[in-house]
Amino acid sequence: MMGANREVDVAIVGAGFSGLYMLHKLRQQGLSAVVFERGNGVGGTWFWNRYPGARCDVESQDYSYSFSPELEQEWEWTERYPAQPEILGYLNHVADRFDLRRSIELDTEVTAATFDEEANRWSVTTGLGETLRAKYVVMATGCLSNGRVPDFDGMDSFAGEVYHTGSWPQEGVDFTGKRVGVIGTGSSGIQAIPEIAAQSEHLTVFQRTPSFSVPARNAPLDPQFLQEVKADYPRRREVARRSPTGLPFLGNQALAMDVTEEERRDTYESLWGAGGFRIGGAFADLIVNQEANDTLAAFIHSKIDEVVEDPSIAEKLKPRDYPVSTKRICVDSNYYATFNRKNVRLVDVRESPIVGFDERGLKTQAAEYEFDAVVFATGFDAMTGALLGPEINGVNGVALRDHWDAGPRTYLGLSTVGFPNLFIVAGPGSPSVLTNMVSAIEQHVEWISDHLAHVEELGLSRSEATLEAEDGWVEQVNGIADMTLFSNANSWYLGANVPGKPRVFMPYAGGFGAYRETCDAVAADGYRGFVLS
């Protein structure tokens, strides 16, 4: 337990992929660190998101740490796309293998962090009412950690079970014989819906915005393939480090509008057949040219028509009002086919919005629905939610919430003005959610640990981004986003899913490889844009 006057070099918030590696890295360089984790286990996203069908949309061999060749060789992934229990098992293995648990405090939520300018130390307060002093704070809190349940009228009166995909009960849920409603058709809903449909007596899906979804074509991993990957890991990881996505391949440089309709269709067919979201990178102009994007949208619409038997349902499932990839492409197993089942009904809540709940279920403007259970697959207060949850006060007592009043502002997604010695892993303004998260996390953790080593070697006590550097970075992030179609969708990338949240495109869309080069250049230039004192 924490002593009243305990002091460490680094307080890390969160024990997911980021926090675990951050702890390991800092220990290796001789700094003392403690991790605070609100869950009662490690794993972050993969600890909380246990809904039926929860599975990563990045392939197993690439959704893994690269920092330890031994770990790479000893861990055996079993499926093309790892299911939640397997990833959670992997992260628990990492925690044991690198002896991390003795520095992780579970069931401990950080509620506040206050910077003491005289001492250049942070006071970190937990929900247990204890305070710890730390020279540095690393927010390893994840991009999709704060689940959102819309505020429907009468929700408290509903007598049935209520779940959110992002905080699923550890013991699981048995829907056998139950009438279930699922609200939301993003990545989580699309994975859960086929599983719940197969188990429940009846499922009603409430869709506000249809998603573009591509088949995962998940399958057991061929041991021979895994052996080849393991033998090739150094090269594979190197390509991933330089690629725009943090994945071990470079996107196609050809333009959709430069090839014939037939060639385009062949390309899309082959990627649809291969499965997974690589179809989103089929051509280099898809994310910047509406006409090009329309060709992929039309292709996916045609696939929905092929699968869904009832043309009026197929029509409802087709996204029409935003470009492909401007909301995260979903990767599914049997999603569209689920709407051919007799026990599944699709309700378009654009046509008839949900007006509220009562004891038996929910009402739309057109009808009433009775349920034994309702599942909210309604997403997250993404990218900033977990950072703005605790009361973080920096220089002059300024609150992070106030500094980010008009939207998040960072330098490199790593640091924000007025909050010295506080670093963010995969923060807004970094490529994070537009890449393979594990690659993005490793790059940030390594950059932060190098930076702290630099500050320590110089015997200094404070590192803070300058306003000029932050302004420049914010401008660059916005400028790149403006060159794309991203702002044409009401996505969580823009905070558009949370009423009242400032509409700002939060991730850096310039590509992971280019971003890494920028971070490396900043470091090589004596940490340009930071004042070290």
**Which part of the chain contacts ligand NAP (CB under 6 A), choosing from 4-12, 181-189, 418-426, 466-474?**
181-189
Q: Would you tell me how many other CB atoms lie within 10 Å of the CB of residue 229? A: 18
Q: In the bound complex, which residue of the shown chain has the CB atom lying closest to ligand NAP?
A: 186
Cα–Cα distance for residue pair 465/416, rounded to 1 Å: 6
Size of the site for ligand NAP (CB under 6 A): 28
Structure tokens at 190: 């699309």
DSSP conformational letter for 211: -
Choice from 184, 323, 389, 390 touching ligand NAP (CB under 6 A) = 184
Judged by beta carbon, residue 49 or residue 449, the one nearer ligand NAP is 49
- Placement of tokens 């009438």 in the chain: 179
| In 98-232, alpha helices (H) | 187-199, 223-231
Site string for ligand NAP, 413-452 (x = CB under 6 A): --------------------x-------------------
* DSSP assignment string, 89-112: HHHHHHHHHTT-GGGEE-S--EEE
**Which part of the chain contacts ligand NAP (CB under 6 A), choosing from 11-19, 108-116, 183-191, 249-257?**
183-191
Cα–Cα distance for residue pair 197/204, rounded to 1 Å: 9
- Interacting positions 199-228 with ligand NAP (CB under 6 A): 206, 208-209
Cα–Cα distance for residue pair 37/271, rounded to 1 Å: 39
**Which part of the chain contacts ligand NAP (CB under 6 A), choosing from 14-22, 111-119, 185-193, 356-364?**
185-193
Judged by beta carbon, residue 46 or residue 75, the one nearer ligand NAP is 46
Q: Select from 350, 365, 402, 410 the least CA-distant residue to 383.
A: 410
- 375 contacts ligand NAP (rule: CB under 6 A): no
Least distance (Å) between residue 354 CB and ligand NAP? 6
Least distance (Å) between residue 189 CB and ligand NAP? 5
Q: Up-side HSE of residue 375: CA atoms within 13 Å toward CB?
A: 36
Choice from 144, 324, 383, 465 touching ligand NAP (CB under 6 A) = 144
Contact (Cβ atoms closer than 8 angstroms) between residue 453 and residue 445 = no
Strand partners, 206: 183, 347
Cα–Cα distance for residue pair 420/440, rounded to 1 Å: 22
Q: Select from 395, 386, 410 the least CA-distant residue to 36.
A: 386
Structure tokens at 276: 């997974």
- 332 contacts ligand NAP (rule: CB under 6 A): no
Judged by beta carbon, residue 29 or residue 365, the one nearer ligand NAP is 365
- Interacting positions 333-372 with ligand NAP (CB under 6 A): 349, 354
Cα–Cα distance for residue pair 54/68, rounded to 1 Å: 26
Choice from 278, 328, 363, 516 touching ligand NAP (CB under 6 A) = 328
- 186 contacts ligand NAP (rule: CB under 6 A): yes
Which residues bind to ligand NAP, rule: CB under 6 A?
55-57, 144, 150, 165, 183-189, 191, 206, 208-209, 328, 331, 349, 354, 377-380, 433, 492, 497
